[in-house]
Amino acid sequence: MPIMRRKKICRFCDNKIDYIDYKDERLLRRFVNERGKLLPSRITGNCAIHQRELTRAVKRGRIMAILAFESESYR
C-alpha cells in the first residue's frame, strides 16, 4: 500500500488572495515558527508565487516590528 499523503494546496490560491498584507499579523503568524522563522513551502504547501509574496510580507512585517526577527522565548 502506498503511503497516502494529503495533497497540499496553496492556501492563498485556494482563497484567491493575491495580495499579502504585511500588517496582517494573524495571517503571517501561521507561516512562521515559534522562533519567528519562515516555514518552508515544503511544509505549508504554498505555491512559489505566494511563498515569494509571503516572504516579502514577513520581512516587511519584521521591519515594522509586527513580527519579531527572532524570539528566544520558545519552549
CB of 41 to other proteins, least distance (A): 11
Please give the grid coordinates belonging to residue 4.
Answer: 497516502
DSSP codes of every residue in 20-56: --TT-HHHHHTTB-TTSPBPPHHHH---HHHHHHHHH
| DSSP structure class, residue 32 | B
Instruction: Tell me if 27 contacts other proteins by CB under 8 A.
Output: yes
Instruction: Tell me if 75 contacts other proteins by CB under 8 A.
Output: yes
Among 13, 44, 47, 55, binds other proteins (CB under 8 A): 44
Q: Could you list the residues that contact other proteins (CB under 8 A)?
A: 6, 11, 15, 17-19, 21-24, 26-27, 29-30, 33-34, 36, 39, 43-44, 60, 62-69, 71, 74-75
